[in-house]
Amino acid sequence: MPPERITRFAPSPTGPLHLGHAYAALIAADRAGAGRFLLRIEDIDQSRCRPAYEAQIYDDLCWLGLSWPSPVMRQSDRMPAYRAALGQLAAKGVLYPCRCTRADIRAALSAPQEGAPLLGPDGLVYPGTCRTRSMAEAHPDDALRLNMRSALALAGGLAFEERGPLQPGRHVVDPEWMIHNVGDVVLSRRDMGTSYHLSVVVDDAAQGITEITRGADLFDATGIHVLLQALLELLRPTYYHHDLIRDESGKRLAKRDDARAIALYRAQGVTPQGIRALTGL
């Protein structure tokens, strides 16, 4: 018997769930099939998360007909696990403290010899200003960055299996592309003590997720996640990236697209089956 498939939906309670979230949640639940569908609340950015949005997430998902085991994992409860993972990475010598502000990075990148700044899946590709600093000189207010070149050298060859409809097959992570287009990503933000990339990898492993379903906008971040799994010696799930729900002008839905909030469709009498139909499922 193949092992049970375990999937998850991992919303951030920073706004109302909209049609794009419903689509992502329904795909994760459908992909779990006879396996397990889990929920995780991604609330590391406490300045943007609201309890009312979290309550609405549970309510909307129940209304859609979804169910999941309790207790639900909440990232704000997981700081010790993130600290432990950062400790493991620091012991491998692939982290360094960084005190650059966004303005510093922009200024360094606009120096005439730098050419056009590169925007990767993690934002502006870091120019490496603090790369020679050691963890021994880390200050509590510093961010921690992954030295991409050393991390890739330590991890060796990396690949992942994509099962989604857009780019199915085995994908080999290209180290040169990672170094030049992703760069030294932040794993611990100064105001948070962790980052999306670190938390998602640590938590997917802790929850035993076997297939990660998520929007195609995160496809290019997968190389970062696979690299962190290798460095932290975690099992590698398979991936299923789905297309994004867009508005009439072709723009992807954002949290502020309240016009497509599930709560609003509910108030207008749309049924859960109607939501499925609206998302094309």
Query: What are the tokens at 130?
Result: 């603090």
Cα(257)–Cα(69) distance, integer angstroms: 29
> Residue 147 or residue 213: which is nearer to ligand GLU going by CB?
213
> Residue 123 or residue 128: which is nearer to ligand GLU going by CB?
123
Residues 173-202 that bind ligand GLU (CB under 6 A): 200
Q: Kindly indicate which of the ranges 8-16, 159-167, 172-180, 261-269 contains the residues binding ligand GLU, using the contact rule CB under 6 A.
A: 8-16
If one asks whether residue 12 binds ligand GLU (CB under 6 A), the answer comes out as: yes
> Residue 12 or residue 56: which is nearer to ligand GLU going by CB?
12
CA 240 vs CA 4, 219, 269: distances in Å: 16, 9, 32
Q: In terms of Cα–Cα distance, which of 89, 100, 151, 152 is closest to 123? A: 100
Cα(245)–Cα(274) distance, integer angstroms: 15
Q: Please report how close the Cβ of residue 99 comes to ligand GLU at its closest, in angstroms.
A: 27
If one asks whether residue 218 binds ligand GLU (CB under 6 A), the answer comes out as: yes
> Is residue 273 helix, strand or coil?
helix
Q: Please report how close the Cβ of residue 103 comes to ligand GLU at its closest, in angstroms.
A: 26
Which position among 11, 127, 164, 223 is part of the footprint of ligand GLU (CB under 6 A)? 11
> Residue 218 or residue 278: which is nearer to ligand GLU going by CB?
218
Q: What residues are paired with 252 via a beta bridge?
A: 246
Q: Please report how close the Cβ of residue 249 comes to ligand GLU at its closest, in angstroms.
A: 21
Q: Kindly indicate which of the ranges 7-15, 102-110, 141-149, 156-164 contains the residues binding ligand GLU, using the contact rule CB under 6 A.
A: 7-15
> Residue 10 or residue 85: which is nearer to ligand GLU going by CB?
10
Q: Please report how close the Cβ of residue 41 comes to ligand GLU at its closest, in angstroms.
A: 9
If one asks whether residue 224 binds ligand GLU (CB under 6 A), the answer comes out as: no
Site size for ligand GLU, by CB under 6 A?
A: 7
Q: Please report how close the Cβ of residue 221 comes to ligand GLU at its closest, in angstroms.
A: 8
Q: Kindly indicate which of the ranges 6-14, 63-71, 92-100, 153-161 contains the residues binding ligand GLU, using the contact rule CB under 6 A.
A: 6-14
Check if the beta carbon of residue 180 is closer than 8 Å to that of residue 125: yes
Cα(30)–Cα(1) distance, integer angstroms: 20
Q: Please report how close the Cβ of residue 132 comes to ligand GLU at its closest, in angstroms.
A: 32
Check if the beta carbon of residue 236 is closer than 8 Å to that of residue 160: yes
Which position among 42, 60, 122, 142 is part of the footprint of ligand GLU (CB under 6 A)? 42
Q: In terms of Cα–Cα distance, which of 177, 262, 267 is closest to 220? A: 177
In the chain, the DSSP E strands lie at 6-9, 36-41, 73-74, 95-98, 119-120, 123-124, 143-146, 159-162, 169-172, 186-188, 211-215, 238-242
**51 burial type by CB count under 10 A (0-12 exposed, 13-18 middle, 19+ buried):** exposed
Tokens 């108030």 belong to residue: 267
Applying CB under 6 A, the residues found at the interface with ligand GLU are: 10-12, 42, 200, 214, 218
